[in-house]
Structure 1
Amino acid sequence: MSSRPPSISSDVRMRGFSQRAEVGVGLNWIDANAQALPGEDVSLDDVVSRVLSVDVSAAIAVPEFNRAAMDGFALRGAETTGAGEYNPLEFKVVGQSMPGRPFEGGIAPQSAIRIMTGAPVPEGVDSVVPAEYATEQNGMLVITRAVAPGQHVGHVGEDIALGSTVLSAGRRLRPQDAGVAASLGLPRLAVVRQPRVRLLVTGNEVRAPGESKKPFEIFDANSSMLRGLVRRDGGIVESHVRLGDDPSSIREAMARPGADVLLISGGSSVGTEDHAPRLLAELGELAVHGVAMRPSSPAGMGRVGETLVFLLPGNPVSCLCAYDFFAGRAIRRLGGLPAQWPYRQTQAVVARKIVSQIGRVDYVRVRLGAEGVEPLALSGASMLSSTTRADGFVVVPADSEGHGPGSDVTVHLYEYV
């Protein structure tokens, strides 16, 4: 099959799709148009889970000075040779070193100083005898265990060498990464800007949860779901508007600047009130409309200026599927994250046949049981509860009629990592 997008009519209302694009066409379009956003400086308190945009190099060594790794006594390691229970050695205690308050002065041979963990080790001594192997009385130290030169001492640059690259661009920062940056004295880091996502919900029948509704109206399930998915993928919701089916309101919301990504829930198919595809073509580019997949065949994508636009079907499972295949990939790429799904994967054996059809990609919700993978028995793409009853999903490629019992399949678990 061709990898080029089919010719797209901007208005297919009540005419249907003459043809549908392959899933790969949409993915290629996303990868060509969704590049990581510029960096921004962010307080170290807020960098966890963000993506580093430039390398972090060490302007100082860590530690910057030789420091004690144990509470005990600092002395010359070579002078402890032969120390033992039957051969205790004595040293004169001439002072102490505390964190932030180093010992000042010289240390004569056969002398020691009291030292705490993290305190500077003075010039002239090179080892620390742990407190449990030492006794101090009347200004004298008695030790019963030898230590090698350099033992129990953290040396300059042992943790981080001066000038070394500590964190590389493209890394998704973890709490310990923030700690390392703090140890270098950095109050802020340059991270990829989070994609700003505008959520537009269409449909005259859609009401917000908590509002009163009339018979035959429905509560908006997609908005809460999409908000969570956007957050999962590193985006931030710039604004969220329920627009009904008024074309002028939809046009204005699509054309307003300020977002990197527009997610339009509903109005993406071929009904009389499905205005979004035509408006996207008029305002910018309708790159893909109609995809050879189930569910989510009415999905589409394009752009208005620099803003990427994704047409997500109103049926909740179709909305989830279209987001995961297309919009989520774009948001992750814009934010510098890996394009791949963040779902954990597991291999399993098919217990009951998974049916598909040549020429389309199938997103099949499944359960994992003692006998293996079983597809859920479903009647449509509006059954959002199926995604809470399912353990995950299996993707059947377009060149397959499905998977028979005993086949090995990859299950994408809804418990993402």
Structure 2
Amino acid sequence: MIGWSALVDRTTKKTRVSSRTHDVRMTGFACRSSVAEAIAWTDNVFPLLKTEKIAIGQSAGRVLAQTITSKVNVPGFHRSMMDGFAIRAVDIEQAAESEPVALRIAGDIYPGTPHSVPLSSKQTIRIMTGAPIPTGGDAVIPVEDVRVRGDQILVSRPIAEGKHVGTPGEDVVSGQRVLATGRHLRPQDVGLLSSIGIDAVGVLCKPRVHLVTTGNELLPAGTPPTDFMITDANSPMLESLVVRDGGDVTSAGIVPDNPECILNAFQAEADIIIVSGGSSVGLEDYVPQLLAEHGELGIHGVQMRPSSPVGIGTYKKRIVFLLPGNPVACLCGYDFFAGRTIRKLTGRGTELPYSRQILPLGEPLVSVEGRKDYVRVQISEGRVTKSTRQGASMLFSAVQSDGFLIIPEESSSLATGTLVTVYRY
């Protein structure tokens, strides 16, 4: 499904961490990369998707891989834009309320059915919306603007030539470029494709994303937690995020904290692997070392809160994202790194996929210079305040919060009244 660009050699010391002996368990991170460095590394190993041809009925939400140029006019003929009567404008030039003009009804025209007899002087033809204008006709009077008397209509005012008549190419002109390569197809785009006679289009293949959720302490998603076990929240959340961003998802289910089991879970047919849990420096955090030994670990540790244990690498020409097990850290790490890649591959761009609002802070915020902070916030009376609970494991706080803001690396604090961008959940 994917053709890969060559892996670009990264020469900065901070971001070249891959090593056959990269075992940092219980020793801590030697150094952390900036968010910008992590994104740059990811872009250097960015996958190039192949294309496929699909029926237009399946194309909404996909990324167009070809330029579309119409070979036809739409409409392809003069047509009525109203239910009414086709006339010759010259016949009613003298029409007035005091002296209406009578026109004889010479027949009916329905959509898709042309009228073979030309319209003669002082004649009219009853016509429906979308029906072709008869030869000799050059305007349409809406039915509500005439009085019908037997086989005649009475017209009390003149109308201009061309009134209520759609012309060939009025919507689309033959030879016109209507959709460009890279467009994220919307329902109206699909309708347009059909209107110009296209039944299938070339689109980028969807990235295949394989989820690997690790942890001996995890119960299957939706299972009530019991004893010292916790229920897997990350898998269903990540599946929803990948679908939102346009990827196709498969899952290895819950994988034990066992090197052999984790490595086996990596073998799926996929373009992107997302690992949840086991990314940090605990005794059972085997994933970074496995990736370094069997693939490439380009990033391990990011100057960001709450997603500092993020890792990024490659395994058998697949890009691999190591996300923390704590749900909010997982959500944040996904949106900034894994989700960014999927959104870029699916034509959704690299921006965070949330609506934005610029508002003043209602209180000061403190951070650490050199670290990017993801802060959950509340909005009240047009001002922004920090949500009470900011723990990386507290997913309910993300549900209760109105959104989040980002404190940039160069700021150690933000004063009350500072205008900030809030990303609305």
Q: Distance in 2 between matches of 1:412 and 1:201?
A: 27
Distance apart, 1:276 and its partner CA: 1.0
Alignment of 1:10-409 (within 5 A): 10-35=22-47, 37-211=49-223, 214-254=226-266, 256-370=267-381, 372-378=383-389, 380-409=391-420
Q: Distance in 1 between matches of 2:423 and 2:48?
A: 25
TM-score computed with the length of structure 2 as normaliser: 0.93
Q: Percent identity?
A: 44
Q: Distance in 2 between matches of 1:214 and 1:371?
A: 42
Q: Is the 8 A contact 2:299 2:313 kept in 1?
A: yes
Q: Distance in 1 between matches of 2:382 and 2:180?
A: 44
**Worse overlay, 185-194 or 219-228:** 185-194
Structure 1 residues 210 and 392: alpha-carbon distance in aligned structure 2, compared to 1, 3 A threshold: closer
Q: Distance in 1 between matches of 2:42 and 2:224?
A: 39
Corresponding pairs, count: 412
**Worse overlay, 225-234 or 373-382:** 373-382
Q: 1:5 aligns with which of 4, 14, 29?
A: 14
Q: Is the 8 A contact 2:15 2:41 kept in 1?
A: no
**Worse overlay, 191-200 or 237-246:** 237-246
SS at match of 2:289: helix
Q: Is the 8 A contact 2:224 2:231 kept in 1?
A: no
Letter in 2 for 1:5: K
* 1:369-409 deviations in Å (ceiling 9; x for gaps): 12611112336311111101211111111111021112111
Q: Distance in 1 between matches of 2:57 and 2:168?
A: 27
Distance apart, 1:211 and its partner CA: 4.0
Letter in 2 for 1:93: I
Distance apart, 1:214 and its partner CA: 4.8
SS at match of 2:185: coil
Q: Distance in 1 between matches of 2:99 and 2:346?
A: 65
SS at match of 1:374: strand
Q: Distance in 2 between matches of 1:252 and 1:185?
A: 48
**Worse overlay, 45-54 or 346-355:** 45-54
TM-score computed with the length of structure 1 as normaliser: 0.94
Distance apart, 1:176 and its partner CA: 1.5
Q: Distance in 1 between matches of 2:371 and 2:223?
A: 39
Gaps of 5+ in 2: 1-10
Letter in 1 for 2:386: P
Q: Distance in 2 between matches of 1:160 and 1:35?
A: 36
Q: Is the 8 A contact 2:103 2:153 kept in 1?
A: yes
**Worse overlay, 357-366 or 91-100:** 91-100
Q: Is the 8 A contact 1:266 1:311 kept in 2?
A: yes
Gaps of 5+ in 1: none
Q: Distance in 1 between matches of 2:182 and 2:13?
A: 31
Distance apart, 1:326 and its partner CA: 0.4
Q: Distance in 1 between matches of 2:48 and 2:172?
A: 29
Structure 1 residues 210 and 368: alpha-carbon distance in aligned structure 2, compared to 1, 3 A threshold: closer
Letter in 1 for 2:303: A
Q: Distance in 1 between matches of 2:395 and 2:323?
A: 15
